[in-house]
Amino acid sequence: MALPNRNWTMVVDLDRCTGCGACVVACHAENNVPIVTEEEVLRGRAMHWMHIERYWDGEYPDIRARFIPLMCQQCERAPCEPVCPVYATLHSQREHLNLQVYNRCVGTRYCQNNDPYKVRFFNFFDPVFDEPLEQQLNPDVTVRSAGVMEKCTFCVQRIRRAEEQALVEDRRLEDGEVVPACVQTCPPGALIFGDRNNPQSQVSKLLANNPRSFRLLEHLGTEPSVYYLRGGESHV
Amino acid sequence: MSESAQPVGVTLPQREDSHPEHQIEREQERHLLLDPRPAQEMAERVLRPLGRGSASYWIALLILGGAVVVAGLTWLYQMYWGIGITGLNRPVMWAVYIANFVYFIGIGVAGTFISAVLRLLNFPWRAPVTRAAETLTVFALAASGLFPLIHLGRTWKFYWMLPYPNQREMWPSYHSALIWDMTAILTYLSSSVLFAWLAMLPDLGLARDRFEDGWRHTFFKILAVGWRGTERQWRTLKAAITFFSLAIIPVMVFMHTIVGWDFAMAIQPGWHSSVFGPYFVSGALLSGVAAVIIIMAIVRKTLHLEYFLRPEHFDGMGKLLLVFSVAWAYMYFNDFLVPWYGQGPTEKVIQRLFDRGYATPLWLLMLFSNVLLPWATLWSRRLRTSVPVVAAVSTFVQIGMYLERYLIVAVTLGRNELPFDWGSYIPRWPEILITIGAFSLIGLLFLVFVKVFPIIPLWEVQEGQMLRALRRIGAMVISTRAELE
């Protein structure tokens, strides 16, 4: 039985994001993202599939902190895909996902160069999980070795599990059944995830004629699947 | 000698030593092809360096070999620990290794250019230069081919990029410029080796006959594949060389265009430029010609080949260098002006790194070495015929072209669309050791080569000398060309 087409979409409501960083922690725990040392972070090798960028708006004293959560934008026309010589990163036409096959990667790092969002992370060394973190590695996700590129997958293991469950029970996948770790964790509910092919899904409703919605670096024509909702006057 | 003997319209040089004998001497001193020597002596001159090396030869061999071994161990160390031991970071994922790759490939176009293009265009002065250029091509390509492998995160999986039937049922992705690159380099490398070997055949036959026993005899016997110099063999060889010359020029142009495309196909600002193909080709020719000049100067000095490599050759190469410097400057101007005029936000930031950022000293040194210095010196015949001057300018061009690649790869990558992803790169010891090792590898291969093979293409020199002669018509001495072809 063929699985139905999906258009997995993430909506980030910047009005709700408080920059707390819970999504970052959740992502690390779910996806076995290694925690690099302070020295490595200073070298510019921090690894967070999901990270929050903070920037300042205005001049002191009338200044305001803005946050923008950044993860792989799962582009429809992803610049990182065609440059890979070994198909380690490729497109899923059915799910509109940008897949990453870790054990196929040889580490040319071309995809990261060609990624305008810089949301791909390279394993400069073998990952180290300090005690007791090595006890809680997620068995559904590969632990990547040195020399391999990795990135946010929209928690593809959760998508797969939910979809297979629905298939076994011979029913439709309901909206809200697939919840990536960051979405599950976000305290103010700034992250919303769902299938845009389903007109009844929350994301479809949110994005219908929403004047606040925009996509990052839209002028590049990458057609990301992550939509941001513009923040208004609220600030921290 | 009466004035009436002069042909109409020809003015004689009215100097003291306008005596025909002196004129002949001067012409012979200036032009190798007008200064033939007995075949025995010529062969002796070319094959003399093939003996035992002097003490300084072995010391040089030891130093270069040591540097290569150190670089190899560094590579193993890097494979063991990961790319993290280099200075690479998140925005700057490519740096010195890729700059080296482009740089050495650039040097690699020189052989084809000098050998094939100048051969087809029948430049008479190219004869003694061709083999050094062809050899440099092969060695530079070998060194540059290592860098995409050194730079891989998982070097031991490099063969996944080769198209071969495998258990994964996967072919490499021909969407990727890296695969085009690999295809082009392998094509160019294999055809360059064949080309260099073809052009060496008559000399290999000569060497086989000169060394009557020992390993050299067997070695040259195998390589000479039964070359006897019969009329038919010569005709076949000529046809093969002409065919190869014609075929290898487009391969060379495509190969370096594709190296430019590695960058131009990416959407990274500062890379995404349609002029990159021809721009890279012109840069490659500039650095390649300069590299051949340096090799010529070193070989001439150390192997005492002053008879073969004369100021006229440095004069000709100097002219080429000037022409390519102008071509490169034109391309670079194109590549700089268009983004500057467009004032795209990211392009602006990148250009600010060059003209008033941390890369400014490198940028100015690049412009000085690639444009200002060649233009200021090479227009003068007096400076062009001075071997130290031309060699010094060529060394600066090497520095300039290396910096150009470094600026494109390592500096440009540090700036992108989103300011919180900016970064900068400083090389660390593994890159430096491996880069030194790569230069040493080329030197080492050359050292071995000059002791095993004749570095001067004797047959081409002799052929040129036979075709040319000085003739006296009354008081006038003119160089003539036999119309054999």
Strands A226-229 and A8-13, by their bridges, are parallel
Q: Average the pLDDT over A27-37 and give the result.
A: 93
Q: Average the pLDDT over B315-323 and give the result.
A: 93
Please state, in angstroms and rounded to a whole number, the distance separating the CA atoms of residues B35 and B310: 11
* Res B1: pLDDT: 40
Q: Which of B187, B195, B215, B216 is nearest to B204 (CA)?
A: B216
Is residue B415 less than 8 Å (CB to CB) from chain A? no
Q: What is the pLDDT of residues B29-62, one digit of tens each?
A: 777 877 788 878 888 877 777 777 788 899 999 9
Among A residues 172-211, those touching chain B with beta carbons less than 8 Å apart: none
Q: Residue A200: pLDDT above 50?
A: yes
Count of beta carbons in the 10 Å neighbourhood of residue B157? 17
In a domain, A160, yes or no: yes
Q: Residue A179: pLDDT above 90?
A: yes
Q: Residue A176: pLDDT above 50?
A: yes
The string of DSSP codes covering A118-187 is --EEE-SS-----TTGGGG--TTSPPP-TT-EEE--SSHHHHHHHHHHHHHTTSPPPTTS---HHHHH-T
The Cα-based distances of B304 to B207, B318, B440 in angstroms read 19, 21, 22
Q: Average the pLDDT over B352-368 and give the result.
A: 93
Q: Are B170 and A87 within 8 A, CB to CB?
A: yes
The token pair that represents B11 in the structure block = 């003015």
Is residue B323 less than 8 Å (CB to CB) from chain A? no
> From the list A112, A113, A126, which residue is nearest B82 (CB)?
A126
Instruction: Kindly provide the ipTM of the predicted complex, given to two decimals.
Output: 0.91
Q: What is the pLDDT of residues B200-241, one digit of tens each?
A: 999 999 889 888 888 889 999 999 999 998 999 999 999 999
Please state, in angstroms and rounded to a whole number, the distance separating the CA atoms of residues B273 and A220: 15
Query: How many residues would you count in chain A?
Result: 236
Q: How many CB pairs (< 8 A) connect A and B?
A: 133
A88 min Cα distance to partner chain B (Å): 10
In a domain, A224, yes or no: yes
Count of beta carbons in the 10 Å neighbourhood of residue B62? 11
Q: What is the CATH number of the domain that holds A121?
A: 3.30.70.20
In a domain, A3, yes or no: no
Is residue A79 less than 8 Å (CB to CB) from chain B? yes
Q: Are B173 and A82 within 8 A, CB to CB?
A: yes
Q: Are A85 and B88 within 8 A, CB to CB?
A: no
Query: Which range of residues forms the domain containing residue A71?
Result: 8-229
Q: What is the pLDDT of residues B80-99, one digit of tens each?
A: 999 999 999 989 999 999 99
- Contact residues, chain B, for A219 at CB < 8 Å: none
Domains (ranges, CATH) in chain B?
A: 22-164+175-481 (1.20.1630.10)
> From the list B81, B154, B413, which residue is nearest A106 (CB)?
B154
Q: Residue A236: pLDDT above 50?
A: no
- B252 Ramachandran zone, left/alpha/beta (phi>0; psi -120 to 50): alpha
Is residue B82 less than 8 Å (CB to CB) from chain A? yes
Residue of chain B with shortest Cα separation from A105 = B154
Is residue B170 less than 8 Å (CB to CB) from chain A? yes
Q: Average the pLDDT over B472-477 and give the result.
A: 76
Q: Are A122 and B83 within 8 A, CB to CB?
A: yes
Q: Residue B479: pLDDT above 80?
A: no
**pTM greater than the 0.80 cutoff:** yes
Please state at what angle helix B276-302 crosses helix B387-406, rounded to 10 degrees.
140
Residue of chain A with shortest Cα separation from B178 = A85
Q: How many domains does chain A have?
A: 1
Q: Residue B482: pLDDT above 70?
A: no
In a domain, A234, yes or no: no
Tell me the β-bridge partners of B64.
none
Q: Residue B125: pLDDT above 60?
A: yes
B227 min Cα distance to partner chain A (Å): 43
> From the list A44, A118, A220, which residue is nearest B267 (CB)?
A220
Q: Residue A120: pLDDT above 80?
A: yes
Report chain B's mean pLDDT, rounded to a whole number: 88
B485 min Cα distance to partner chain A (Å): 49
Q: Residue A191: pLDDT above 80?
A: yes
Q: Are B426 and B362 in contact (CB under 8 A)?
A: no
A171 min Cα distance to partner chain B (Å): 34
Burial class (CB in 10 A: 0-12, 13-18, 19+), B265: buried
* Res B139: pLDDT: 94
Q: What is the pLDDT of residues A137-154, one digit of tens each?
A: 999 999 999 999 999 999
Q: What is the pLDDT of residues A90-110, one digit of tens each?
A: 999 999 999 999 999 999 999
Residue of chain B with shortest Cα separation from A39 = B84
In a domain, A236, yes or no: no
- Contact residues, chain A, for B268 at CB < 8 Å: 113-114, 116
* Res B407: pLDDT: 95
Strands B476-481 and B468-473, by their bridges, are antiparallel
Strands A89-92 and A120-122, by their bridges, are unpaired
* Res A122: pLDDT: 95
> From the list B153, B178, B423, which residue is nearest A85 (CB)?
B178
- Contact residues, chain B, for A126 at CB < 8 Å: 82
In a domain, A102, yes or no: yes
In a domain, A168, yes or no: yes
* Residue B221 one-letter amino acid: K
> From the list A43, A45, A87, which residue is nearest B173 (CB)?
A87
Q: Are B66 and B217 in contact (CB under 8 A)?
A: no
Please state, in angstroms and rounded to a whole number, the distance separating the CA atoms of residues B186 and B138: 11
B147 min Cα distance to partner chain A (Å): 11
Residue of chain B with shortest Cα separation from A84 = B176
* Res B178: pLDDT: 93
In sequence order, which residues have a C-beta less than 8 Å from that of residue A53 and are 6 or more positions away? A67, A68, A70, B418, B420
Is residue A105 less than 8 Å (CB to CB) from chain B? yes
Is residue B152 less than 8 Å (CB to CB) from chain A? yes
* Residue B259 one-letter amino acid: V
